[in-house]
Structures are given as C-alpha cells and as structure tokens.
Structure 1
Amino acid sequence: MTASTRRGKRAAIALPSAVILTSALLIAALPAGASAQPSGNKAVKGAAVGRAAQKTDPRVLAILKKQQALDKIAGDITAGISESDRARLSGFTDIEVDAEHNRLRLHWKGTPPQRVQRILANLPKGVTAEVVPARYSKAELHKARNKLLRGGKPTALRLDSTGERIRITSIEPAVDGGSLEIGYDGDRGAGKRDATDSLSRGAPREVR
C-alpha cells in the first residue's frame, strides 16, 4: 500500500494485519543565503498583482466554473452528506475532483448503487468520471482507525529498528481506500528520505 501525510513522516497501515510502513516527506531546502520570499512592499504588491491577474485570467475563470459544476455533481453522488459523515454511504470510499481536466474519480468498494450509476450515466457534456475499485470502504477504514485509538488518543507505536517511540499527529483513510495514512513527528536525516521502517505496537525497548 502507499500513503502520504501533510506533516513530519508518513506511514501506511496494511489491513487487517496492522503492519505499518513509513517514509519521510521530500523537503526542498533553499540555498545558503537565499531568501524564502520577497521582503517589504515588493512582496505585498506582487501578491496583489498576482491575485488580480488570477481573477481576470480566462483560464482561471474557466477552471473555477468547472470546479463549481464538479462540486455539485460530487454533492449529488454523496447525497449531500457532509464529508465527516460519508462513511454512512455503503461501499463509498472517497471522491476526487479534477477541475483542470473536468473529471471525477470515484473510489468505491463494490458496485455503486443505481442512484449513483444514474448520475454517472447522465453527466453534463464534457465531464468525465471514473469509478476506481477500492480495497476498503470509508466505513471499514474508520473502524480500523478506531482500533488504533485508546480513549480517543493513538495507541503507542515504536520503530522496530531503534525502539524509538513516535508521536502520531494524524490518522486518516487514504483517498484510494487502500490504507490508513498515519502522520507522525520526526526527521530521518539527509540521504534517508526514501527509506522505510517497520512499526510495531507497544512501548519502546529500553536502551542502555
């Protein structure tokens, strides 16, 4: 399984065996002496000009129009249910909106219900949709996530290689329904960004 995270490191938990693989995020560093962003009034003026250009750029306006149309279709597919409650939809995993290509990608375990199939069969002109089979539904991933929680907090996990305890910052279902994404704090160091470590439950080993 693959996984990603927004902070620190990333991990994918293989269900139902709960074997976790981790990988660090790629972080781009600025050269020595380089400035992260323009300073003073130049930065403010540059940002204002950029926003004004976006508002009048026909390409941006066209994408925004597509985004609104796709969002409405996605809302119809999910029956107007809020994102936090979509696990109630039997078989549903997630839905991706790609306004640039005017496309929807629906991740679903099993066959979508007739209601959803009718929507997909009557899409507006120019809109395409793809149903991607998911290994797990959102409901199943939420159930697996809850098994990693104790009293609302993540259970203890450690690196098998060092026994180091890790602090989990997030546990989320992967968009494709193939794993749980586990974010945690830590830095592998230079040259080890693509390495993987196995994780286990329980307290860390004592290091003498």
Structure 2
Amino acid sequence: MMSRSARRKGKFVAAAASVLLTLAAGSVQASTYAVAGDDDKGVPSGGWFQATPPPPGYGSWSAAMGEQQILDTLADRILETVPEKGSGYGSVAIDLQNHRIKLYWKGALPQDVQGIIAGAPERVLVSSASYTREEMLAAAELVMQHRDDQSTHIVSAGPTADASGLSIGVTGSVEQGRGLDVVKSLGMQVSVKPDRPVDTGEAPGEPVPQSVSPQLNSTVLERRTDSNPNWGGAWTNSKGNGCTAGFPLHDASGHSLMLTAAHCLEGTPVGDLPDVDVHVGKVSKNFIKAKWDSRDLAVIDLRNQTSSAARMWFGAATGSTDLTYMTVRGVGGNHVNDYVCTNGAYSGTRCGIIVDAVDLLVSHAYSGVLHQAVEAHSWDGSNAAGQGDSGSGVFTLDSDLQGVRARGIQSALSSWPHEYVTCTGLTTMGGGTKSRYCSNHIYYTTISASQGHNWGLVTTAP
C-alpha cells in the first residue's frame, strides 16, 4: 500500500471537572473548574484485563500501573519546574523494573529540582546530559527543514532518551543517513537508523450516515450509536472519513467539545457552516471549532449537547456491545518506557504499548512535519492501532484499572509491511468493501499540544 506521504506533500458519584492544559517543557499542568456530569447510559463500569503477563518484576498489571503512576507523577513534578528556555534539562525516562526514573541534566541541578529529588532520593537516578532538550529540539527542527534535500529522506528526528544527542530516522541505510549534508553540519552526536514511513490512519470511504436527532438513543448503545453526551472512543465520520473521538473537552462558556485528529476532518472547514456535518456516534450537525495542523489535533464543537462526560468507551470495537466505560481522571506527560493504551473505534482498546521516544518531529502525510509526536510499539507485537483508530485517546491506566489519565491523540501508523499485524475488532472499512490494515508501531501527538486555549479536558474530581 502506498502511503499518503508518497502521494502528496449512571450518574457520577464524584463531580466532574475540566482541566485547562498548559505546556512547560513537555509537562502538563492542570487547573480545574466544575462542570455537569452524566448518567452511565446503562453501560457497566469495568476494569481492564490483559491476557499477557505483566511487566518484569510485577505480579499484576494493577501493581505495575500503580508504580508507573508514582514514577510519572514524580517526573511531571520535575518537568513543571523546567522553563521553556534556558534550562539544563535533557530528558527523563521511566525505569519501571527498578522503581525509579532516570533524569538527565546538563550542568548543576536547580534548587527546586534538588528539593523534589530529596523527597524521594531512591526514586531518581541523575546522570549528566550531553545536550539540553532545547538544544536537541533546535537540531531536530533544522534537520527536518532539510528532510527532502537529498535522495535519502529524513523521516523523523528527536532527542535521544539519554540526552546524548539527536536520533534521526532515514529512508536509506545508516551510512547514507550519516552522509547527509545537514547531519554532518550539526556538530552534535547523531544516532541514525533506517526508519519506517508513516501513514495517517483514518478509514476512508465510509458511508456518511443520515442526520439524526442528537437526543436519539439507540436501544443498544455502543461506539457507533453513542449519543448525547458523547464519550471518548465513539466512532466519528466526516465526509466519509471514519475515525474515533478522543477526549471530551469543555470550555468556560459551557460548550461541550471533543478532541480528535485533524486529518480525520480533512476537507471539512472550520466554523459553524451550513455544509458542515461531523458525526460523533449518532450525534450529527457538529462542527469543527479549531485545528492545529502541525500537531494533527482538532476540536469538534458538540453544539447540540448539554453536558460533557468524563468517560471513555472501553473494550471491543464498534459493532459490539462487549463494552464497559472508564472514567477520565486526569492528564499527564509522556515519558520513555511508559505503558499506554489506545482506544480506537475500529480496533477497540489496546494496551501494553510501550513509549519509545518523545518530542519527535515526524514526516507526516497531513501535517508535513508532525510536532510533539510520541513513538510507541506494542510490546507483544500485536495490534497497537489501525485504520479508523485515528483521533482516539491515548492514556495510561490507574492502579485500580477503572480510570485513565490522558496522554495524547492517535495520529499515524507505521507503513512498513513487516510491521503490519492482524487487526483486532473490525477487519474491513469503506462500508465493508475494503480490508483495513493495522500496525504494532504507532505515533501519537501529546495532549499538551492543544494548550493555550480556554478549554480543557473533562475529568472526574480527584
């Protein structure tokens, strides 16, 4: 398959709250205000079960996710102290097996970072960084500006996990990558690898459903028949592009919104216009409030809805009622070695996905260059996401396996054939006329990339 990049350049017991997202050197900071809750639509809440063994050193996934949450919170606390410019911060990685984080810093640690570490010295291993995050990102930007200058193309660029330099992916060999003019000009250690081309993961050619009342409730609710108030993980359709709703949002004016991938709405204009009809489940006549093309993020205005719900469909793909729901409890940053889940309407919920790299710039069919991307793979080689799963929320699980913490929005798949895997959930798209493909290797954009606006993620109160 030729990639597009080759073709073109109940009711809540707890109150709900909306988390306003801001970005500080890759961290996520949150402030909250109360919004309305919702009923449970007759869908049971339920935990998550993973048939594969838990990570090494852990007797259960519950124990592993509880430990990861502690480490992620510690990493986020450190990152919240890091200014956008002028910091010695290099990178941070989770070391789940050894119950600690690895922090790489250039120069002396600031007092506020020392203070955080002093509260849990056994949890933080500090090492010297060769370069700061700021220096590595500047180099990555330069490299991607010259990605197509020579016959060997640059697919991705970003900081190494240990802050030792830049990691780049190329379409040719390692030797060809090292020989690129822009790479030789950097004056920085560069790790080169043959890299996969990526393809956006919408399901094209889906029949556009007839408009229906936003209040119409199907007798049997699932992702495709989701109704007001919409939950994350519902099926979406815009001009025949089948995708997935990400995370529910809310703004200070009381509007209900939904975060998804911008490429799912390609060809659909921004604004409340007569010809705009974005379907989320059975709810129609929604419109696009905003797009950030370089982040592949978009916000759908659910203009007919009266409340926002901090809930996610969880479990099987669309067409099945073997579903529960999870509550959205918070938001956090992405760290190398985190275990995350995707939640596509076409593949269903997929967990056991390990973060390989953060702060990536990736050559992308829709965005040109996708910024603030995260690369991840399925640890058992199974489906991480597939066509139709674009726009879905990416999240971590709480230790009780009942709630999730938002991390990002699914954007792209590997289009290396040897990374194609058997799809879970639906095997076809385009109204059943075409086979869909799935991959064990994905790219998503961080939830914090939508910061800077007067709306936020809807979460349950802590």
TM class by shorter-chain length? 0.5 to 0.7
| 3-state secondary structure, aligned to 1:51 | coil
Partner of residue 163, structure 2: 177
Alignment partner, residue 88 of structure 2: 91
User: Which residue identity lines up with residue 180 of structure 2 in the other structure?
Assistant: S
2:134 partner letter:
A
Select the structure that is richer in strand.
2
* 2:61 aligned counterpart, secondary structure: helix
Mapping of residues 6-25 of structure 1, within 5 Å: none
Residue 142 of structure 1 corresponds to: 137
CA contact (8 A) 1:64 1:99 kept: no
Letter in 1 for 2:106: K
CA distance in 2, matches of 1:52, 1:108: 38
Aligned pairs, number:
131
Structure 1 distance, partners of 2:94, 2:161, is: 12
Counterparts in 2 of 1:1-208, with a 5 A limit?
51-52=50-51, 58-79=59-80, 87-88=84-85, 90-123=87-120, 127-150=122-145, 154=147, 156-157=149-150, 165-186=151-172, 196=175, 198-201=178-181
Q: Which SS does the other structure have where 2:120 is aligned?
A: coil
Conservation of the 8 A alpha-carbon contact between 1:120 and 1:129 = yes
In 2: Cα distance, 1:147 partner to 1:196 partner: 20
CA contact (8 A) 1:94 1:176 kept: yes
Whole-angstrom CA distance in 2 between matches of 1:135 and 1:155: 28
- Conserved? CA contact 1:78–1:89, under 8 Å: no
DSSP-derived class of the 1:104 partner? strand
Indicate how the Cα distance of structure 1 residues 51 and 59 shifts in structure 2: closer, same or farther if over 3 A, else same: closer
Q: Which has the higher helix share?
A: 1
Deviation at 1:148, TM superposition (A): 2.4
Give the residue type in structure 2 aligned to 1:199: G
2:97 maps to a residue whose letter is E
Question: How far apart, CA to CA, are the structure 2 residues paired with 1:103 and 1:167?
Answer: 37
SS in 2 for 1:172: strand
Cα deviations by residue, 1:127-179 (Å, 9 ceiling, x for unpaired)? 421111011101011222233243xx52524xxxxxxx211110111121222
TM-score, length basis structure 2: 0.26
* Residues 67-101 of structure 1: per-residue CA shift (max 9 Å, x gap): 011111111001177xxxx7546011110111221
Q: TM-score, normalised by structure 1?
A: 0.54
Contact 2:144 2:156 in 1 (8 A): no
**Percent identity at matched positions?**
28
Range with bigger deviation, 130-139 or 71-80: 71-80
**Contact preservation (8 Å) 1:87, 1:138:** no
- In structure 2, list runs of 5 or more residues that go unmatched: 1-48, 183-462
Query: What secondary structure does 1:135 align onto?
Result: coil
- Contact 1:148-1:155 within 8 A present in 2 as well: no
Give 5+ residue unaligned stretches, structure 1.
Answer: 1-49, 158-164, 189-194, 203-208
Q: Provide the C-alpha distance between the structure 2 equivalents of 1:184 and 1:71, rounded to a whole number of angstroms.
A: 31
Extract structure 1 runs of 4+ deviating beyond 3 A: 52-55, 86-89, 195-198
Cα pair distance change 1:138/1:105, threshold 3 Å:
same
